[in-house]
Structure 1
Amino acid sequence: MRYLNRLSGPFLDRFDLSIEVPLLPQGALQSGTENRGETTEQVRKRVFLARKMQFERAGKINSQLTTREIERDCQLSAQDALFLETALTKLGLSVRAYHRILKVSRTIADLAARRIFNNCI
């Protein structure tokens, strides 16, 4: 985590996602096939369908949406809007981060084949 302190906030603000990957227990990769998740083909199909939904809705993928298109396609419920506003304030996130959160949330809904954008935050 020390390396994160060397990166500037504005630089980190340009990443859409960041995740922490914990160390695997020794031997976890050699143990059986349990918890394998989706196959590559299943993921490929879901991504294809999600991109198709995005092109049908806006003529482009979610990462290319303008602010106006985000407001149109990513309308939040009152509860989700309050949650996101609280998170933005507590975490000190920018307007850029707000729009990215909405785009990523819209993409998650698309990957789940959900045309309605609610409970995605």
Structure 2
Amino acid sequence: MSRFLTVTLSLCALLLGAGLASAAAQAPGDLKLGPPAGIKASKAMVEFSHAGHGAADVQCVTCHHTWDGKSDIQGCAATGCHDQPGKKGETAFYTAFHAKKTDRSCLGCHKTLKKAGKAVPVSCGQCHEK
């Protein structure tokens, strides 16, 4: 293979890789977590920092557990995810954030971190500020 062809193919591969990297999912900045339409919240919405969780090495798929790594990431309140009222069941909105026996929920992960000596919020008022 000629040197020109090798260099050309290498540059094409580099540009393609850069294009794919820039097309990767970008987490939004800070946001407020609240229930989906039709579900009334009993507590204040929660301030959430994607940057803070990324700095703590929390991977996107930890919370967005159905994400395939390619498509757009959906929020927990998206249709078919955790969009149901109540406090029980896999698809209950409350479960996504408060299930105690899984590291996929905020409270479950924070309880695990708290046991390991980390300073993380675990009480209602620490996340649901008045």
TM-score calculated relative to the size of structure 1:
0.25
* Bigger helix share: 1
- The structure that has the greater radius of gyration is 2
**Larger relative contact order (Cα-Cα within 8 Å, sequence gap ≥ 6):** 1
TM-score calculated relative to the size of structure 2:
0.24
